[in-house]
A and B are shown apart, each in its own frame.
Chain A
Amino acid sequence: MSLTSDVETTSPKYLRDKYAIVGVGETAYMRGSGKTTRALATWAVRNAIEDSGLRPADIDGMLSYQSGDSTFSPFIAGDLGIRLNFYMDIFGGGSSTEALVGMAMGLIEAGMCKIVVIFRAMNGYSQVRIGGTGVRAAVPVSGDMLHSRAYGWQSAGQMFSPTFMRHMYDYGTRPEQVAAVKAIHSEHASNNPKAYYKERLTVADVLASRMICKPLHLLDCCVETDNGNAIIVTGADRARDTRHPLVLIRGVVGRCNKPRLDMHYQHGPISTVAGRYARDILWPNSGVGPEDIDVTGSYDAFTFTTMLQLEDYGFCKKGDGGGYVSDGTIRLGGRRPNNTSGGHLCEGYTHGISMVIENVRQLRHDVDDSCPLASDGRRQHSYDYREGGCRQVKDAEVAANLGWAMPGTGSAMVMRRG
């Protein structure tokens, strides 16, 4: 690929290639971690520091995101003997990772700190389940929720489904096209030893699984797991001393919205999502366009979210998302694979950070599949994508992550191999 684009690439307001992701780490993906979110976060941050080749004392900034379900930066910094010059723990789920990468760049640019770790730790299966069952179901319905939860309309799948249904109505999108997202991500997961679900499934398996809320079958929905994940952001100049090939940040857009975020359905078309707005920041900031991207990480809370974002960020014509996700393009070996780890549908659920980690490893040409290690510790990738084999995208140079909070909010990031 080449970094060719017809967008303007010289304005000094852009920070292209000035910042890098130098460390990534995670815990296992589990159901029943037997650990606190503090322990999960500490292990994830420690693993990311070790991956980078930095020392804990080098870290001086910390950011995290959560939904009232996790630990806070001061505890993790304390556990690892880190004195921070900046920390902040923000409220939010999906779409937070890319937004926080952008904030980390701004913090460093402002001189407030130099090396920032971003983490997300959750017992998403064994403590606070995202679907709204358990603890969340007992909370009184008040305020804005009187217009949603009072109607038995509260989980992410329930809340997003009118968008998904309207897309089928507006564009003739078919259930089997969207189910291909799960089938393809399951193939990718079968080559990921970390994945919680490694079994390869078919489109027929998805369509035969029980209905949750139309148009979502059980297997159109992501897994719920317990895990911690972390990434480290610093300036490209500092990054040159770290352990791995450089992964540079080309551009970021954070928590970009559709109009009327109080209830985004008020402003149509409701089959269009925030990517329609975010793309006008992402591509100019990055100086590349969809055709330049070798691998995508389009958030798969549901099969539909992957499709809608790929479409609205311009990887295909509006309305053609069903074809794009089912014609082989997004499969390993295809023109532009998506979520090569298996994503949230198969690997584990992290509110997006794991999809960034996967693409960092893709751009290092060092994805942790089952290919053999050479004497220098690097994997010798076979590019044989059959079950249990390789999941490295050959010659991956540029990756895009498309984060999703809800139909009305999204974040995105482009990274390239340095």
Chain B
Amino acid sequence: MTIKAQYLGMPLDISGLDAENLEYFRYCAGHDFHLQACTACGLLRYPPTTACPWCANPGARWTPVEGRGTVHSYTEIHHAIQPAFRDHAPYLVLLVDLDAQKGVPTAEEALRVVGNLTTADGVLAPPELVRKVGIGTPVRMVFTDIAPGLALPQWTLDQAAPPPAAVWRYPMG
């Protein structure tokens, strides 16, 4: 089953051949984040892949994963390329270390999940929210519904998490 949709002026198109992405986004459409767990070594992986990045085993089991983590790095985009993003600039692209499997299998590894900073409703964050977030901010996953069988995982402030000791933001502008 191929999924075609429009989102912020972009055609999104998941090929019927792309079994891993279809399955990944099917879970997202149910607001239920799942990742592949390797049937041999047990490690979770992101983004969806055909085989395990650590042991090359092709077998995987879709496994529920808690969408909580901490901003590892980010960029704040002022010059949007897609026209529909211009109305939302500046917007954040976050690289979030999931709490799940952080520092595994080596200290420098983590499941670093991409997303925009959004409101709790999955709408791209307004400027006053953008200014609050930087490296170290705790975030939780929310979803932006796009089409049947397709929602994008996104990040919003995790109000339930203990406040971070420090949040680093780019020092200019």
Q: Give the B-binding residues of A (Cβ under 8 A).
A: 131-133, 137, 140-144, 146-155, 158, 161-163, 165-166, 168-169, 174-175, 207, 210-215, 260, 262-263, 265-270
- CB 8 Å contact bits of B12-49 with A (1 = contact, 0 = none): 11110010010001000000000000000000001101
Query: Within the complex, what minimum Cβ distance (angstroms) separates A222 from chain B?
Result: 15
Given contacts A151-B152, A166-B72, A175-B170, 15 further A-B contacts (CB under 8 A): A141-B10, A142-B13, A142-B14, A150-B152, A153-B77, A158-B93, A165-B75, A165-B135, A169-B135, A175-B171, A211-B79, A262-B47, A263-B46, A266-B46, A267-B108
Answer yes or no: B116 CB below 8 A from chain A CBs: yes
B residues less than 8 Å from A212 (CB atoms): 77-79
Answer yes or no: B60 CB below 8 A from chain A CBs: no
A to B CB contacts below 8 Å, 22 in the list? A131-B81, A141-B10, A141-B12, A144-B47, A152-B88, A152-B93, A153-B77, A153-B93, A158-B81, A161-B75, A165-B75, A165-B170, A169-B73, A211-B76, A211-B78, A211-B172, A213-B78, A214-B78, A263-B47, A265-B95, A270-B72, A270-B112
- Chain A residue at minimal CB-CB distance from B169: A214
Given contacts A142-B13, A212-B79, contact A147 B114 (CB under 8 A): yes
Answer yes or no: B125 CB below 8 A from chain A CBs: no
**How many B residues are at the interface, by size bracket?**
35 or more
B7, B78, B81, B109: the one contacting A150 at CB < 8 Å is B7
Q: Give the A-binding residues of B (Cβ under 8 A).
A: 7-8, 10-15, 18, 21, 25, 46-47, 49, 53, 72-82, 85, 88, 90-91, 93, 95, 106, 108-112, 114-116, 135, 152, 168, 170-173
B residues less than 8 Å from A166 (CB atoms): 72-73, 135
Q: Chain A interface secondary structure, helix, strand, loop or mixed?
A: mixed
Cβ-defined contact, A213 with B114, below 8 A: no
A143, A151, A210, A267: the one contacting B116 at CB < 8 Å is A151
Cα A263 to Cα B53 with chains together (Å): 11
